[in-house]
Amino acid sequence: MVAATVNYVAPWSRRNSLYIAPADQLTTTQYDPEIVQVANGRGRADLTLDVAGFQLLSHASAVTDFTDPAQLDGAYVAESLALVRRMTGAGEVVFLNWMARDSSPRRSHSLPPAPDVHVDLHSAVIARRYARAHAKSALPDPAAYRRALYTSLWRTFSPAPQDWPLALCDYRSVSDDEGVPNFLFRVSALPDVSPDRDDLPGGLLPDEVDERLLDAAGAESAASVFAWRPGHRWFYFPSMQPDEAVLIKLHDTDRSVAWRAPHTSFGDPEAIGAHPRRSVELRSVAYFY
């Protein structure tokens, strides 16, 4: 166990929004940090995709330079989609995007580590909408799938140990009604926005965000951010190597299994001589027939 401080959303947070600009981001969400115990997940047989919502994988990549966008767009996308398909048993896997992160203050084209306890999709309505849209453009028979699964394949490529590792919350410790929307805006430059503005709706349950609400807010999408609850169980995989990756569920339309896993970064107090964390996460949607 390590004692880690993680940023839960504050009950008094009035404007939950994330602005992403090239190489930087701004959040107006107000946090209520909590110290939680994060357990070493290595060797835990129960930490699987359909049970906990995430799984540690052994996978050696053919990419030689993870800072090269051409290699990420080419070899890494291809091998990652094949890995997700093999691990999930999906019929088709469609690439959505990749994102690089760097905890170093001298980063140039990467975002900093994620600052809060979140899941990248908030609403089942939005998940189904996006699944239909991607199926229409990418699947030979867009209406034939019965299930859609959004995942993030997370990999660090800086030397171990890393200063800001990834912490994952066991799905079994999170209620389905947890999570409030955090609206996403992609901008060319970070705005000057007050966290005290209350022009975004708040207090919505996970399945109450739909496309009309997004359009009204002018947002691209909405993630979920989570308030602290005492039963949350946290895990991490210390000193991750480049030939390892974590597959995380963002949203599964099959609610009979784990369908999401909240996650965040944290400053590891026990990582002596830690290196800045450099990582890449690749998002995709898998379709089952």
Residues 55-84: pLDDT tens digits?
999 999 999 999 999 999 999 999 999 999
Both ends of the chain: CA-CA distance in Å? 41
Every domain of the chain and the residues it spans: 2-288
Whether 45 shows a pLDDT value over 90: the answer reads: yes
Q: What percent of the chain has a predicted confidence (pLDDT) above 90?
A: 69
Angstrom distance (rounded) from CA 144 to CA 129: 15
Q: Residue 206 has what pLDDT? A: 67
Q: Residue 144 has what pLDDT? A: 92
Q: Model pTM? A: 0.90
Q: Residue 197 has what pLDDT? A: 67
Q: Residue 216 has what pLDDT? A: 66
For 123-127, 264-268, 270-274, which range has the lowest pLDDT when averaged over its residues?
123-127
Place 199 in a pLDDT band, splitting at 50, 70 and 90. low
Place 24 in a pLDDT band, splitting at 50, 70 and 90. confident
Mean pLDDT of the chain, nearest integer: 91
Whether 200 shows a pLDDT value over 80: the answer reads: no
Whether 130 shows a pLDDT value over 90: the answer reads: no
Angstrom distance (rounded) from CA 39 to CA 22: 34
Tell me how far CA of residue 237 lies from CA of 3, 48, 265, in angstroms.
14, 13, 12
Q: Which residues does residue 39 pair with via DSSP β-bridges, in sequence order?
A: 235
Angstrom distance (rounded) from CA 157 to CA 166: 13
For 33-37, 87-91, 191-195, 241-245, which range has the lowest pLDDT when averaged over its residues?
191-195
